[in-house]
Amino acid sequence: MIESAIEVQSLTKRYGDLVAVDQLSFQVRKGTVFGFLGPNGAGKTTTLKMLACLIRPDNGTALVAGHNIATEPMAVRRSIGYVSEAQGFYERMTAAETLDYLGCLLDLPGPQRRQRAADLLSQVGLADRRDSYVGTFSKGMKQRLALAQALLAEPAVLLLDEPTLGLDPMGAKEIRDRILTLKQDRTVTIFLSSHMLSEVEAICDEVGIIDHGRMLAQDSVANLRRTTDNGMEFEIVLAQPNEAVVAALQETSSVQDVKVVDGRRLMICTTGKDEVRPQIVETVVRNGGQMLSLCAKGSSLEEILLQAVGNGRER
Amino acid sequence: MKFVAVLQKEMRDQVRNRKLLFAMLFVVGMAYLIMYTEAGPTKDSISVLDAFFDMFRMFCPFLGILMGMDAVIGEKERGTLELVLTKPLSRTTLLLGKFAACAISLVPLLAIELILAYYWAQISGISTYRWQLPMPPLGQWLAMVAILCLLCALYIAIAIFVSLYARSTTSSALMSMTTIMPGSPLGTEILKWVGWSDVGSLSWPYKIIISMFEKYQEYALTSAADFWVCALSLVSLTAILLLVAGWRFEKQDTTFR
């Protein structure tokens, strides 16, 4: 049996007439990184806030680290770390004081609290700024501090809402690297909402696509690629230009289109979901072509997202 | 422990954002204004106590509001509320910690300055050469200090309650200020309107109801029994307001910036 770190059942949240989250159901396996994708206003932040017990669902239930968000909010809060898109901090407190205060709220004993704060500040590269007021920090430093405070209680589940939003490439990379380090430990389940699709693709084991508060698709990126209707795109490089190979490939049933890029390089679009690589290789060899490389380009996560959202809206 | 953590953090905040310094200067300024300008007692005044009470009764609610107006809305505006509310801290504890920090900062400050003003008025001889009025007994003065301190605490609680629902710190302050009116100018008018001119003769349930009115508070300074009714009513009202605020806050969906 696969244990779930997060189990959401028919979660619904309305703001007046607007249904922000609509009968949302999904599961996130323990120790994995789950990417939560969707356009603006899809319901991602509302879902995250419900999971963090900041707002109450109108209907449905959710278990976070085995605790019900409606009936055991304190236990949920003890099990999670939460980073919001633009985390606010007490500007007139130092980084060390901030972690100490939040550690107190987590019931961490004094010596353990101070040690943990020092370790985390060192891990996120803020050890030398521990006694500086948070008001003097850059946005990147604040996000690193946000990650440190979220890890204070060694949470079972880390909820990250756009943690790299508005950061420069270096700042975003630092946060991403830290998440990847956490991922390697496999002790914490990470629920990541992000618009940075390359980031989600690089970090996440599984993604969920949400729009209008409904889950449209949930699977690994590789499986989602397979299930899209786009087919696949391949790039092959021949030793020499060969018109017979191009003609033969164009006549192949599963090939939709062949583009010759610079004589020797061909871009091949296929139609179905079946494996067509052996067929391509055979066609090239049969027509006297010498293949130097064959590379599957596949659908990007952006294409998968756009298609899933488009299909969802058509329905 | 969490309550103490919130309390310490809030008190440190008040020192660092100079709110406490401002409150202290405000109280000193008021005392100076009353003692050395025509705003205070004059030889035509009925008593020193009445003049002091009238003035401080007007300013104390503002002080309470100043301390509590941004308790919740300020944190929402700065985005820090979700930082603490995602930790295992009950919202009631958060509110009580904030209230205690405001009250502990303000109430002793007010009490000490008013007691010092009492002795200064005697030592400097100002009551004799300027006001030409006798100073009231210390017990009566302390009763006034206690009522004013409780009034401050009540308005801190009111401001905290209002800040749960306000959309900005400014609107929180303005909304809280509207709650001053029923106590002071309106209260006297209401009492006149219902024909309760002799508040001392009312039975105690009525006295509890009118304990927020200036006229009854003034009367309570002259009667020990009424002082206790008034003081306990103000304490109860503050406690009820805080509990209701905590209960409402627990139920509230917190919206952020």
Q: Is the pLDDT of residue A251 over 80?
A: yes
Identify the pLDDT of residue A6: 94
Rounded to an integer, the average pLDDT of B63-87 is 91
Say if the Cβ atoms of A88 and B257 lie within 8 Å.
yes
Interface of B with A in 212-251 (CB under 8 A): 251
A23-30 average pLDDT score: 92
Q: Which of residues 14-53 of B touch A (CB under 8 A)?
A: 16-17
pLDDT tens-digit series, residues A158-215: 999 988 887 788 878 888 888 888 888 778 999 999 877 878 888 888 999 898 888 8
Q: Residue-wise over A226-252: b if at least 16 C-beta within 10 A, else e?
A: eebebbbbbebebeeebeebbebbeeb
Per-residue confidence (pLDDT) for residue B211, from 0 to 100: 83
Which residue from A52, A91, A93 is facing B86, i.e. has the nearest CB?
A52
Q: What is the pLDDT of residue B257?
A: 44
pLDDT higher than 70, residue B209: yes
Chain B residues whose CB is inside 8 A of the A105 CB are 2, 5-6, 84, 87-89
Residue B247 domain-assigned?
Answer: yes
Contact A89 B90 (CB under 8 A): no
Q: What is the pLDDT of residues A46-65, one digit of tens each?
A: 999 999 999 999 999 999 99
By C-alpha distance, the chain A residue nearest B9 is A101
3-class DSSP state for residue B181?
helix
Cβ–Cβ gap B254/A91 under 8 Å? no
Q: How many CA atoms lie within 13 A of A194 on its CB side?
A: 30
Q: How far apart are CA B55 and CA B34, in angstroms?
A: 8
Q: For chain A, which domains are there? A: 4-89+137-225 (3.40.50.300), 231-298 (3.30.70.100)
At residue A85 the predicted structure's pLDDT band, cuts being 50, 70 and 90, is: confident
Evaluate whether B204 touches B229 at the Cβ level (below 8 Å).
yes
Strand duo A214-219 + A206-211: pairing: antiparallel
Residue-number span of the structural domain to which B66 is assigned: 2-178+238-251
Inter-chain residue contact B88 with A77, CB threshold 8 Å:
yes
pLDDT digits (tens, 9 = 90+) for A97-135: 999 999 999 999 989 999 999 999 998 889 999 999 999
List all residues 6 or more positions away from B251 whose beta carbon is below 8 Å from its beta carbon.
Answer: A56
B256 domain residue, yes or no:
no
For residue A309, the model assigns a pLDDT of 72
ipTM score above 0.90: no
pLDDT tens-digit map of B120-174: 888 888 888 888 888 889 999 999 999 999 999 999 999 999 999 998 999 999 9
Residues A106, B84: C-beta atoms closer than 8 Å:
no
Residue B90 lies in a domain: yes
pTM: predicted TM-score of the whole model, two decimal places = 0.83
Residue B255: DSSP 8-state: P
- E strand spans, chain A: 4-15, 18-29, 33-37, 59-64, 67-68, 80-83, 157-161, 189-193, 206-211, 214-219, 233-238, 255-260, 265-270, 291-296
**Alpha carbon distance A161, A138 (integer Å):** 19
* Residue among A75, A77, A107 whose CB faces B86 most closely: A77
Q: Classify residue B208: in a domain, yes or no.
A: no
Residue B156 resides in a domain = yes
In this structure, what token pair is assigned to residue A5?
């770190």
Are B138 and B52 within 8 A, CB to CB?
A: no
Q: Report, as an integer, the average pLDDT of A244-249.
A: 89
Question: In chain A, what residues touch B251 (CB-CB under 8 Å)?
Answer: 56
How many interface pairs between A and B have CB atoms less than 8 angstroms apart? 74
What does the mean pLDDT of chain B come to?
87
Number of domains comprising chain B? 1
The answer, yes or no, to whether residue A273 has pLDDT greater than 70, is: no
Mean pLDDT across A269-295: 84
- Please report whether residue B199 resides in a domain: no
Q: Which of B87, B253, B257 sits opposite A102 (nearest CB)?
A: B87
Task: Out of A75, A77, A88, name the one closest to residue B87 (CB).
Answer: A77
User: From CA A123, how far away is CA A64, in angstroms rounded?
Assistant: 26
CB atoms near residue A148 (< 10 Å): 26
pLDDT for B152-161, tens place per residue? 999 999 999 9
A209/A308 Cα distance (integer angstroms): 7
**Residues A49, A50, A53, A57: is their CA dihedral positive or negative?**
positive
Report if residue B23 sits inside a domain: yes
Nearest residue of A to residue B80, measured between CA atoms: A88
